[in-house]
Amino acid sequence: MKLVRIIASFLFVLVRIVALFYLLTAIYALINCLFEGPFFEKIENNRFAINFPFTTQHFLLGSEYTLEYVVEMVLGLALYGFFFLVLSNVFKTFKQERLFTKAGLKNLKQFYQFNLLLYPVLAILWSLFSVEDFPFFAMIVAHAIMGIFIFFMAAIFQQGVNLQNEQDLYI
């Protein structure tokens, strides 16, 4: 179990950093596109680029500079920022000393609810208004597989929490 805690601790930090990167990138893209600041660059054919801060090196490239495209890009980045944030909480559950807790169960439930309920609804809405051609069906299936797997894990955790609570009453 010690190895699981070590790996979960590493993945918790790594995935939390990825989540923050996505969320900060969404905010950075939104600010640059709204205000066309010093790091924003219009390029040929109504395309745009957002540069790394204080450089002329491109960080994000946009296919077209329209409100619909920018909103789609920012919301997509934010959605995956929240996905990685919820995923990091799953790893947080496995790094705890006591595995079967209500907080851990809550983290697992949030993850499967995100993947089985929220993501499919948002992806379907996203596909209706999308400027880009994304493999929406494949993305929904991938998130559903993750969600179902964690749903089963949450059911096991629920039993573990119940057994843990019974054991605590006897001690």
Residue 48 and residue 65 in contact, taking contact as beta carbons nearer than 8 Å: yes
Q: What is the pLDDT of residues 137-150, one digit of tens each?
A: 899 999 999 999 99
Residue 169 pLDDT class (50, 70, 90 cuts): low
The terminus-to-terminus CA distance of the chain in angstroms comes to 23
Element housing 124 (H / E): helix 119-129
**Of 70-74, 80-84, 127-131, 161-165, highest mean pLDDT:** 80-84
Q: Is the pLDDT of residue 171 over 60?
A: no
Q: What are the boundaries of each domain within the chain? A: 2-170
